Structure 1
Amino acid sequence: MNTPRCDRTTAWAALHDHFATRLRRFDLREAFAADPGRFERLGVQAPEVFADLSKNLLDAESLRLLLQLARECGLEARRDAMLAGEPVNATEGRAVLHTALRAPRGQGPFSDEVHGTLEAMLAYAEKVRADGRIRHVVNIGIGGSDLGPQMVLPALDAFAHPDLRLHFVSNVDGHDIAPVLRQLKAEETLFIVASKTFTTQETMANAQAARDWFVAQGGGDVARHFAATTTNVAAAAAFGITTTFGFRDWVGGRYSLWSAIGLPIAIALGADHFRALLAGAHAMDRHFAHEPLERNLPVLLGLIDVWYRNFHGFGSRSVAPYHQGLKRLPAYLQQLEMESNGKRVDATGEPLPFHTSPVVWGEPGTNGQHAYFQMLHQGTEVIPVEFILVKRPTHGLPGLHAQLLANGLAQSRALMIGKSAAQAASEQAPTASRTLDAQVLARHRAFPGNRPSTTLLLERLTPAALGALVALYEHRVFTSGALWGINSFDQWGVELGKALAGDLLPRLDSGDAQGLDASTAGLLAKLRD
């Protein structure tokens, strides 16, 4: 689109001036003391998700300039083009229409096709759920064909079929599939092979291992015990699979859990809950499409990401979901954000003079507190943290959820307020440390504070709430990518290694090192010893 890249706008220059003159010394503690209404002004309600943005390092002028930046970069036009099905993935000549997968019938592009596939898939899922002979479902896929369903199912465990166990195999390492197969009986198992092209190397190697195991265990009906989510019906049929569900090339892998790739989700949760997942995502789509930028939560989060990456220089963001069901969310977001926005050239192929995607990482609270929170509080780098809290649990165990929420609130507050050396010195020192000089010990026990965080709050972790949360992250990634002027929907960075692996595989048998660098040749020889 004929809109300027972020660094070629008036707002970009103004933001640099504003940061240098005012925000470099911004202190959250002072900001709250000066503005009692800061929480109300920087709290945003979106479908199923409330966001507290008040503990971020920005003031009213920062936000005004960031919104100006979005408008100068044509964010709204870029958003509308994507939602209308224009080929915004220019390097692959494709539209980007994962939003169409969750639109109600008649309200999105390709509606008849989308809902025809959806209804067929859900009917099959209900058939599997009603078949008492199937007790295990194994999804074989990798990347987007694995991470989405594998993230959703633990999150929505409270809504899952009580008599079905879902397993996920992705890594071509046999240590991934072997422990799964040990738990199974052929007559009780359904395998789902998830590969759009039915040629993905890792997926097809694992699918072949699963079929070999199935036949060796006396399985005689591959067609009944194997299904595929693929567009390559002929290849699936040659494999022995007759039940297939397809999706179009405008569905990117990391945006595909809403498509036929969601078959294991539908089997585990049932048709009604799968539709609720779609409905929650669609509600967030409508929010993104129609809410003014000033109250548009995906836009605001994306703008803060640009603010932190390009002005504050923060290189990573930690995601800390205070809900064990969201244990796979950080891994899911790693692909969503880093595969989408980990780019070094803009949409025209011009090298970028600024950084793009941060490193995204994290673990569920409270486990993360006992692992890496030391660095968040007292490390040399400032790392923004994203806390995700769920108000009401889906379990009935007394007392535990209150402790979980208290920890989440406490960590967010501690990052902001910190503790001075004087405060630390005034406290009773640990007995084991009384041999240290008091001032030295106080410096060890001081926290700088003024470290930013965002808190996302859900009422309950339901299918609709999870759908809205994931769609929120999708549109947030689009927002930052649009400002950076990159194509967030291709992923050429994974191709080179895959091609080289195809070249090296036969060399492990032959030992041929011709044309290899000395390191690779040396490692190849050691692996063949």
Structure 2
Amino acid sequence: MGLTHDPTFQKLEKWYHEHAPHLNMRKMFEEDKERFHKFSTTLKTDHGDILIDYSKNLITEDVMKMLVELGKSRGIEAARDKMFHGDKINFTEGRAVLHVALRNRSNHPIMVDGHDVMPEVNKVLEKMKGFCHKVRSGEWKGWTGKSITDVVNVGIGGSDLGPLMVTEALKNYSKGGPRVHFVSNIDGTHIAKTLAELNAETTLFIVASKKSAVAKHFVALSTAGPLVKDFGIDPDNMFGFWDWVGGRYSLWSCIGLSIALHIGYDNFEKLLEGAHWMDNHFKTAPVEKNAPMLLAMLGVWYINFFQAETHAMLPYDQYMHRFAAYFQQGDMESNGKYITIHGKRVNYHTGPIILMANFLAQTEALMKGKTTEEARKELEAGGLTGEALETILPHKVFQGNKPTNSIVFKKLNPFTLGALIAMYEHKIFVQGVMWEINSFDQWGVELGKALCKKIEPELHGSNEVHSHDSSTNGLINFIKKNHA
């Protein structure tokens, strides 16, 4: 049953049309002094509390009840359980989805095709642990007998974005570890610039590739042992992973070797432990108290009822500056699709679709797409026939006729860059004129500054604050309590 045909969705949709235009957060906070407590949850961990305040949303208690009903009606609990059980929920590729096994610190059995994958997972982790100790202690030497001071991670997509994001976020934990550098652009300038600043005698290269990837200075992270050997890398220097590890979730696997080298294996283990804690919360908490589910349902509320498809993620810790980019990829690759699991076209918005890659090929793909007949020929050439072909076929068809703008220039220099910046400044101005918007004032910023001046002195001292709405009071008091 499609989302919009679900009676629970239709019930919520009816409520939306009747009441949503009248939702006013300021009024809701004024009328309910307990709103913060009703719409927030604190996750208690051994490493500190995590507060999730969702009270500043266009929601009521009735809305949340209906969202929970909708989540249950859509089968979110059953789907979660299938994932943890090792069912092949990635049905188009015939694979289980078990990144949770990679951080299964309680080590309970996790089965795929009747086989417990945990011994293999633990074996790779132990190999990573030993390797990290050798490199960080100076025991691992290059060909000239010098210790490793720099690590270059060569990967793309999940093999790059995840490790890059984490190593940036955890820089404060890198003492005693090698510097890490990430090369992901096929433009040779990227690696040339990186190598120009490094000493080859003390540099270790990590080649991260699912399909394929000299000896003393290269290690490989791959699912293809023979190809690694053919490439010239010693199989002893290969760290394996499995086809049930999606690229977007691979930082928990040996793809995270650059993380472990940089921050130390003990800290990498703590990263796994934190994820495992959240896995357990996700697995056991009821829907109405389940943080990932609450956030997901709120997203559905805005995307499918308010038609608000843009989600701004703004980390206020500078070290997390790659966090949003990492989940941008995760969101658009995971849910930016228009064919359902039943092979039907959706009639509602899904995840954000943000495309920016493979310049010429991408613009051609957007223009041409792939017809049903082209997809059928491709699948037949790959050996698929009958029901198997018809099941996969809708997922291989892509609409075309999508316009794009291409901006190409011979060389990026100061002049060209200045021209590009000005072009976009004027574009913003023209749009503001068309919308009758003053593109140049910033009263919202000034309001934020004024509120900040009031809040800043309230952060000092131990007295509880009660001068704001319940949500802001709750946030201030939580920060004062936990960051004194």
Tell me the TM-score normalised to structure 1 length: 0.64
User: Residue 325 of structure 2 aligns to which amino acid in structure 1?
Assistant: A
Distance 1:16 1:337 in 2: 24
Q: Which residue of 2 aligns with 1:89?
A: 90
- 2:177 touches 2:264 (CA, 8 Å); kept in 1? no
Mean Cα deviation higher: 102-111 or 350-359? 102-111
- 1:337 touches 1:357 (CA, 8 Å); kept in 2? yes
Q: Which residue of 2 aligns with 1:64?
A: 65
- 2:177 touches 2:263 (CA, 8 Å); kept in 1? no
Change (3 A) 1:324 1:346: same
SS in 1 for 2:314: strand
- 2:41 touches 2:52 (CA, 8 Å); kept in 1? yes
Q: Which residue of 2 aligns with 1:44?
A: 41
Distance 1:114 1:457 in 2: 42
Q: Which residue of 1 aligns with 2:121?
A: 114
Distance 1:407 1:29 in 2: 19
SS in 1 for 2:67: helix
1:22 aligns with 2:37: no
Change (3 A) 1:180 1:344: same
Change (3 A) 1:103 1:7: same
Q: What are the residue-to-residue correspondences of 1:52-451 with 2, within 5 Å?
A: 52-104=53-105, 106-109=107-110, 110-131=117-138, 133-162=147-176, 164-198=178-212, 222-242=214-234, 243-358=237-352
Change (3 A) 1:65 1:75: same
Q: Which residue of 2 aligns with 1:499?
A: none
SS in 2 for 1:320: coil
Post-superposition offset of 1:359: 5.6
Distance 1:169 1:182 in 2: 13
Describe the superposition over 1:496-519 as per-residue Cα deviations: whole angstroms up to 9, x where unpaired. Answer: xxxxxxxxxxxxxxxxxxxxxxxx
Distance 2:452 2:313 in 1: 16
Distance 1:275 1:324 in 2: 23
SS in 1 for 2:273: helix
Distance 1:304 1:151 in 2: 25
Distance 2:85 2:476 in 1: 29
- 1:43 touches 1:54 (CA, 8 Å); kept in 2? yes
Distance 1:106 1:137 in 2: 30
Distance 1:456 1:53 in 2: 15
- 2:177 touches 2:261 (CA, 8 Å); kept in 1? no
Post-superposition offset of 1:29: 0.5
Identity of aligned residues (%): 42
Q: Which residue of 2 aligns with 1:423?
A: none
- 2:156 touches 2:184 (CA, 8 Å); kept in 1? yes
Change (3 A) 1:170 1:347: same
Post-superposition offset of 1:273: 0.5
Distance 1:130 1:322 in 2: 34
Distance 2:119 2:346 in 1: 41
Distance 2:268 2:450 in 1: 29
Q: Which residue of 2 aligns with 1:524?
A: none
Change (3 A) 1:67 1:143: same
Change (3 A) 1:339 1:130: same
Change (3 A) 1:45 1:104: same
Mean Cα deviation higher: 39-48 or 20-29? 39-48
Distance 1:409 1:80 in 2: 45
Post-superposition offset of 1:173: 1.0
- 1:129 touches 1:161 (CA, 8 Å); kept in 2? no
Distance 2:262 2:324 in 1: 22
- 2:102 touches 2:121 (CA, 8 Å); kept in 1? yes
Distance 1:255 1:302 in 2: 18
SS in 2 for 1:235: helix
User: Residue 34 of structure 2 aligns to which amino acid in structure 1?
Assistant: G
- 2:287 touches 2:294 (CA, 8 Å); kept in 1? yes
- 1:196 touches 1:246 (CA, 8 Å); kept in 2? no
Change (3 A) 1:410 1:320: farther
Describe the superposition over 1:431-471 as per-residue Cα deviations: whole angstroms up to 9, x where unpaired. Answer: xxxxxxxxxxxxxxxxxxxxxxxx99998xxxxxxxxxxxx
- 1:337 touches 1:360 (CA, 8 Å); kept in 2? no
How many residues end up aligned between the 2 structures? 355
Post-superposition offset of 1:407: 7.3
* Structure with more contact order per residue of length (Cα contacts < 8 Å, sep ≥ 6): 1
Describe the superposition over 1:245-304 as per-residue Cα deviations: whole angstroms up to 9, x where unpaired. Answer: 011100000001000100001101111101100000000000000001111000000000
- 2:158 touches 2:247 (CA, 8 Å); kept in 1? yes
- 1:190 touches 1:225 (CA, 8 Å); kept in 2? yes
Post-superposition offset of 1:163: 5.2
Distance 1:410 1:96 in 2: 44
Compute the RMSD of aligned alpha carbons: 2.8
Distance 2:308 2:270 in 1: 36
Describe the superposition over 1:109-149 as per-residue Cα deviations: whole angstroms up to 9, x where unpaired. Answer: 11111111111112111111112611110000000000000
User: Residue 159 of structure 1 aligns to which amino acid in structure 2?
Assistant: Y
- 2:157 touches 2:248 (CA, 8 Å); kept in 1? yes
Distance 1:12 1:138 in 2: 49
User: Residue 108 of structure 2 aligns to which amino acid in structure 1?
Assistant: Q
Give the counterpart of 1:32 among 29, 35, 57. 29
User: Residue 5 of structure 2 aligns to which amino acid in structure 1?
Assistant: R
Distance 1:62 1:6 in 2: 17
Distance 2:450 2:125 in 1: 38
Change (3 A) 1:328 1:407: farther
